[in-house]
Structure 1
């Protein structure tokens, strides 16, 4: 029994000794960790590492037409660190009322210089057919609200990989081409070799935003025969969902297009086609919108002193 008691004392002593060794080992590792952490903080304080900042500086629409809008998002990134930091990925999303319009990823987006700042441009292509085919309630001519969400993923010494989330809201148009009618043609000078006339156009803006008309180019056909075209510089404002009237001059040779002119002179309507483009300023930037009218009917505008009616209207 005595030997048994001695054995128990020895065993307990060994266990206590092993436990103390484990405690010493654990304490040493913790001290090393604390030391490394302290060294890291000292280096960070001495060298001046910090988290980069970013902001959406601007949103541009450099090009817009009936098919798509090219959007450029300018993101200003500031790097306070003494070393360059890589911009690993850029994730972006454009949504309207919580519905995704377009999203994408730009990998390996560059490097931000030490103690510097960079404006990173994020190009986004917004195709209107994709939007209209997905959301029936988004109609041509309307203005829709948008929210741009951008996640910048950077790799910073000491801090590691960071995600910088950004947001910006605004509005974007879904443009619709203006409706155009050739209401009347009035002759200024007539001869078979050269005739000068004025085309009286009715232009209807079917958009929920104003159009500041700067110029218009066009070509006109009477009874499928081209009588010519031109480009007109004319500053006119067409209010949203409004109507404006424009007079444009044209010069042509009547002998080149047969009986169409004689039908007009006799008071008969003649078929016409008009195609061209309108260059206009809008709240969202410049737009070059097509105009076209096919299958319309117009007639000669006669002077009252010649016994004619000065208010002949376009016939459909």
Structure 2
């Protein structure tokens, strides 16, 4: 009987290992809006759902760093579901207070942009597997608007 149980465990683990999982790609980060409270950036994540049914995203966790310092971090609970057999674009809003931007003055003054590193974690609740997190990371530059852009 123990050989049968062991064979069943191996079979199930092999099937779960070979099962397709969602794939994600961080496509970009851009300036969304500027207000009295701070600056809001928008991260776009393209997620491919290989399943024939929609897949709920449990949460999106994020950490935005610049010059080795954490600018903002947090979680976006329940951002929605992924469409079946399609790519879905998730927009993750990152609100940065103005006080943090002041601490980045040296980087901004050099080239009027913010060098960043964004780390995202997309967490799904997959049937049979359980919670599954896709880690994403992207480095780049966010160009700041000039007075010419505002008028």
Distance 1:114 1:68 in 2: 36
2:11 paired residue number: 38
C-alpha change, 1:33 and 1:97, in structure 2 (3 Å) is same
Other-structure match for 2:60? 90
Structure 1 residue 109 displacement after superposition: 1.9
Aligned partners of 1:72 and 1:120: how far apart in 2? 10
Distance across 2 between alignment mates of 1:169 and 1:39:
38
Aligned residues: 148
Q: Which residue matches 1:78? A: 48
1:101 alignment partner, one of 67, 71, 78:
71
2:29 matches 1:59: yes
Specify the SS of the correspondent of 1:118. strand
1:50 equivalent in alignment to 2:20: yes
Alpha-carbon displacement from aligned partner over 1:138-187 (angstroms, at most 9, x marks no partner): 25952331111101111222433211111122223567xxxxxxxxxxxx
* Deviation digits for residues 58-100 of structure 1 (CA, Å, limit 9, x no counterpart): 2221324787322111101111123332211110011012200
* CA spacing shift, 1:49–1:82, aligned 2, 3 Å: farther
Over aligned residue pairs, what C-alpha RMSD do you find?
3.0
C-alpha contact 1:86 1:112 (8 A) present in aligned 2: yes
Deviation at 1:120, TM superposition (A): 0.6
Post-superposition, which runs of at least 4 consecutive aligned residues in structure 1 deviate over 6 A? none
Q: Does structure 2 conserve the Cα–Cα contact (< 8 Å) formed by 1:56 and 1:74? A: yes
| Partner Cα distance (1:140, 1:54) in 2 | 30
- Structure 2 residue runs of 5 or longer lacking an equivalent are none
Q: Say which structure, 1 or 2, has more relative contact order (CA 8 Å, 6+ apart).
A: 2
2:99 counterpart of 1:129: yes
Structure 1 runs not aligned, ≥5 long: 1-27, 176-210, 212-277, 282-286, 289-316
Tell me the CA shift for residue 126 of structure 1. 1.6
For residue 82 of structure 2, the aligned residue among 79, 88, 112 is 112
Decide which structure has the larger Cα Rg and report it.
1
Q: Which of 99, 102, 105 does residue 138 from structure 1 map onto? A: 105
Q: Does the 8 A contact of 1:139 with 1:174 survive in 2? A: no
Contact 1:90 1:150 (C-alpha < 8 Å) held by counterparts: yes
Deviation, 1:31, is 1.0
